[in-house]
Every structure is written in structure tokens, then in C-alpha cells.
Amino acid sequence: MKMSYLKEFIRVYALIEEKKIVYFISIFITCIAYPSLNIIFSFAYKLSINAIEFNHFSLFINTCILFLVAAIIQCLVEPFANYINARAVNDIVCRIKNKVFRHALSLPVSYFEKNRNADTVLRLTLNIDSFEPILRAGIRDVMQTLFLGIGALISMLILSYQLTLAALAFSVLAYLANFAFAKEIRKCSDIQYKCNAGLSQALAVTYETGQTAKAFNREDFLLAKFNESNKNAVSAAFRLAIRGMFKDGLTSLVTNVSRLVILICGLVMVINKQLDIGSVVGIISLQFGLTNMFVSLGGFLTNMQNNLAGANRVFALLDSQTEKSKYSKAIPGNITRNDVITYENVCYSYDNRVPVFDRLSFNIEENRMIAIIGPNGSGKSTLIKLLLGYYEPEGNIAYYQQAMGDYDLSEIRGKISYVSQRAVLLNGSILENIKYGDRDATMEQVIRAAKKANIHDYVMSLKEGYDSFVGEEGIYLSGGQKQRINIARALLKDAPIILFDEATSSIDNEDELDILQTLKKIKGQYTIIIITHRLQSIQDADWIIVLENGKIAGQGAYGHLQKKDCETMLI
């Protein structure tokens, strides 16, 4: 028995929470019902045979009563308990899924950067489905086997202790036959699990790199990788099946020999008038429950292995640290009254690597338009991500003259509209995508934002207008159209600070000029930060900051800035 699996098993059950009582009562009833039926039928066989053997009518009546009790259990109690159990399991699984999803939403940006998207999707879909079979069958199977085994043992002892002892001896033999294969089977099962995990990984790679694979004619490479994992999984399953075949064959041999031996011993006892035929039949029909307890219990966690491993991957996600609601408080010292954003001695490095910023300081006054330029990797996007509170820096960042730690992160993000370097679209309609910026916005406001972002005319040219679907990640749209929808979304949010991180990089020059016209129109009404590599984007900025290696290499108004400061940064 693997202790780590036992730990996962207990942890799954700890998630039941408030449904505990209904769940365990229904499990208890189903666990009692199944062994009871077996035991009742065994006694019913004994009584019915004895009724004929001894010509005893009252025994026949007792047989009928036992059958009636069995019918009530089988037709009413068991189905009802199963129904209650299924409802409880569905409720619990639904709550677990909610909990995991809520947790996933509160994970920090760094989690999604460190873990592959496809891996997280697997945890939230395939792996989370592992909880259902564990909760449905886990404890139930163990308890049913145990109750049936113990119930059969007691009943058999009542009928004949000599035959019971013989049956016990054969059960131990069946256990040993199983034990001989258990280690090998567990090993194969481990390999099979790893191969299946390899298959999922190969699928994930296909999902992530499908388009690139086509562009580089690398489908063969993906296929070869997948085939290899697939072949390994099949051969592990094959090896498992062979061992299973030998194990089952040997167990069945022991079981059948034991039945025959007990039947012969029983009949000898009947001939010697030490036992009635009914008891012999009863014992033989109970014997399965006893042997099964010896054979099945050891392999129970191995059978659950795949599901427990899936649950383990979900637990790993649940154990990941969530984002803080706010960062530690720090009071910046050098703030002017008009500052909307202040960076004071800000230091940051990703995972203790080379610092991106080392004591970076600057300030941005209200309703100014600031352009940040600099070579690739100079820290422009990081500066914006720090502003959005994605990571916690050292030093101080302040908004409206108040330290970052004075706000909840959600408050900070509420003040900012962000258009990222890569346009991100939901698989929905254009309307849904724009309204993501403000779910309560009216159609009029949506159209106004779309017009400002210069996408309205295009939307109107589509047959379904704003209800047109954009496809997975906006696949039905061009790069420029996607980016314009992102801009419309950001404008609809109507936050006082707008961040553009190379938002116009995928738009052609003419379109970019259009968007710059829009920016000109809103200039003075919002505090705007544009990160760009293009000269025309910075010409209207009130102030330009040149970043180089995480430091300010120069700053000033356009025209006053040293030509050499600009030219290496722009295209």
C-alpha cells in the first residue's frame, strides 16, 4: 500500500465538508445493503433446502420472509441510498470544482508564467474529474468488501465452524497467490500511469504548438513523440493485462478448488449427520465474500491509483500560494501634489535572477501622456506589470500620492485600463469581448468606445455586427482588428490611467495613425503611458522616458530629448 496514495485518499474525503452526514449515511446504507443481501440469500437457501429435507412448513414460511426482506432491501433501500449517494457525490464534486476554480483565479501571474497553460487546463479538467470515482466508489468498495467479508465469516461460523476454518485456510492461500503478483502489478500500473501522463503531456504540446508545428512542417515530430508515448502506454497496459490474467487465473483456481474441497467436506459431514445440506449450500454461497476480502483489500489503492494521482495534481494546484489581497505598506517620501504614479527606488528581479530594476525612480503627473521607450529586454513591460501589481517589488510605488500597500490590488487594477503587447480575446462575440471592460455598459457606450478604437466600421460590415464570433483567441480576426477590440475594451472601462504596452505594434502605419488620433483626442482626460518602439507614437507624448538595462538613460519632452537617446530605441 503506497502511503502517499493513502494521504491523497484521506485528503479527498476531507473536502466533503458540510455534506458529510448525508454522504456517509448513504454510503453506510449501500455498504450494509449489499453484504446483507448476500447473507440473507445464503440463509434463505439453507432454510428452503432444509424445509424440503425435513418437510418443515414453518421453515418455508421463514424462507419467504427472508426473500421479502431481501426484496425490500434490493428494490427500495439500496436504490434509494444509491440515489441519495449520487446526489451527495455530485454536490460535493461541484463544490470541489468551484473551490479549485476560485483558487485558480486567485493565483498570482507568476504561477501562470511558471506553469504551462495546457498543464493548468489538464488539472482543471481531466484531473479534477478524478474526484468523482474516488468519492463514488472509494470508501464504498472498501466498506462493502469488509462488511461482506466479516458478515460472511460470522454467518459461516454460525453454520459450521469446521467448514469456516477450512474456508479461511483457502482464503489465506488465495491471498498469497495474489500477493505473489501484487508487487509486479503495482509496478506495471505505475509505469502505465506514467505513460498515460506522458500521453497527456504530448497532447498538451500539440495544443500549445499546433500552429507553429504546421508553419515549420514539424507535424511528424509531434506525431513521433505522441506515438512513442502511445506505444509505451499500450505495452504497459499489455504487461499489466498479462500479469492480471495469471493472477486472476491462479486466484480462480484456488477459489474453485476450495469450493470443491468444502463441498466434499460438507457432504461428508452431512453423511455423518454432523451437518444439514442447507448449511453446506449456505456456506458455499458465503465463501466468496470471505475470500474476496482477503484478495481485494490489498489492491484497493492500486486500483484507485490513476484517480488518486489525478487528485494529487489538483491538490498541488490548491497548495500553490494565492495572490495577496494587498502588498506590504510603504510610505513614499518624495511625492509632488499632482502625482498620479510615483516610482521611488523600485528594485525588482524575477525569481532572484539578474535585477530588472535597481532603484528606479520617476513620477507621472495627472492627465499627462508619457511614452516609455527602450531596447528589447530593458524592462518596459515589467514596469507596467509592477504598476498592475502582478509582482511585489522592493522600494515604493504610489498611486495618487498613496502607497501601493494602502490599496487592495483590485482597487489598483480598477484605476487602470491595460492594453497588452499581445491582444487577448475570449472565445465569444465582439460585443462580449468589448463589454469585458465594463459588463454594465450600454450599447451606446460600446459603440462609442469601438468608434474611438476605430473598429466600429469593420464590425458594422460583418453580417452579424457586434454579435459576430471572434473564434478561439480571436482566430477569425487580423492582428490589428484584435488589438483594436482590446483598445475598445480598455476605453470602455473608463479608468483614469491607461497603459498601452506596444498596443500598436501589430497595426500598420496608417491604422496606427488613426489610433494615435484617438489618443490625441483623449489626451488630457486620462493619465496615459505608452510603451512603443515607433517614432510617430511618441511625438504627441508630454514626456518621454528612455529605459536601458532597467535604468533611466534619459528623459524629456520630444524635441528636447537628445537624438542619440531616441534613435537606438526606435524603428
Smallest CA-to-CA distance from 536 within 552, 516, 554 is with 516
Please name the amino acid found at residue 280.
V
Q: How far apart are CA 356 and CA 513, in angstroms?
A: 32
Q: Which stretch binds ligand ATP (CB under 6 A): 128-136, 190-198, 322-330, 371-379?
A: 371-379
**Is residue 113 involved in binding ligand ATP (CB under 6 A)?**
yes
**DSSP 8-class letter at 477:** S
Binding to ligand ATP, residues 445-474 (CB under 6 A): none
Q: Which of 378, 433, 481, 504 is in the footprint of ligand ATP by CB under 6 A?
A: 378
- Among ligand ATP, Mg ion, none, partner that 332 touches (CB below 5 to 8 angstroms by kind): none
* 376 touches ligand ATP by CB under 6 A: yes
**Binding piece for Mg ion, criterion CB under 5 A, among 301-309, 378-386, 445-453, 481-489:** 378-386
Cβ proximity to ligand ATP, 3 vs 354, nearer residue: 354
Q: Which is nearer to ligand ATP, 292 or 382 (CB)?
A: 382
> How far does the chain reach from its first CA to its final CA, in angstroms?
64
Cβ distance to ligand ATP smaller for residue 64 or 552: 552
Those residues whose C-beta lies under 8 Å from the C-beta of residue 490, and which sit 6 or more positions away, are: 417, 418, 419, 437, 498
Q: Calculate the CA 281 to chain-centre distance.
A: 51
- Strand 402-403 and strand 394-399: the pairing is antiparallel
Shortest Cβ distance from residue 361 to ligand ATP (Å)? 17
Q: Which of helix, strand or coil describes residue 342?
A: strand
Residue 289: which residues within 8 A CB-CB, separation 6 or more?
35, 38, 148, 149, 151, 152
Residue bearing cell 491595460: 418
**Under the criterion CB under 5 A, does residue 381 sit at the interface with Mg ion?**
yes
Please identify which residue in 380, 456, 489, 493 interacts with ligand ATP, judged by CB under 6 A: 380
Among positions 335-364, residues that touch ligand ATP (CB under 6 A) are 350, 356
Question: How far apart, in whole angstroms, are the C-alpha atoms of residue 203 and residue 365?
Answer: 49
Q: Judged by CB under 5 A, how many residues of this single chain contact Mg ion?
A: 1
Question: Quick check: 388 binds Mg ion (CB under 5 A)?
Answer: no
Minimum CB–partner distance for residue 378 and ligand ATP (Å): 4
Q: Return the one option of ligand ATP, Mg ion, none that residue 140 interacts with (CB less than 5 to 8 A, by type).
A: none
> Mask: binding to Mg ion, 337-376, rule CB under 5 A, as x and -?
----------------------------------------
Nearer to ligand ATP, 525 or 568 (CB): 568
Q: How far is the CB of 385 from Mg ion (least distance, A)?
A: 9
379 binding ligand ATP? (CB under 6 A): yes
- Residue carrying C-alpha cell 442447507: 278
Quick check: 549 binds ligand ATP (CB under 6 A)? no
Stated length of the chain: 571
Say whether 364 sits in a helix, a strand or coil: strand
Min dist. Cβ of residue 568 to ligand ATP (A): 13
Dihedrals φ, ψ of 142, to 5°?
A: -65, -45
CA distances from 169 to 2, 146, 290, 292, 294 (A): 27, 18, 11, 13, 11
Query: Do the Cβ atoms of 323 and 108 come closer than 8 Å?
Result: yes
Binding site for Mg ion (CB under 5 A): 381
Binding site for ligand ATP (CB under 6 A): 113, 350, 356, 374, 376-382
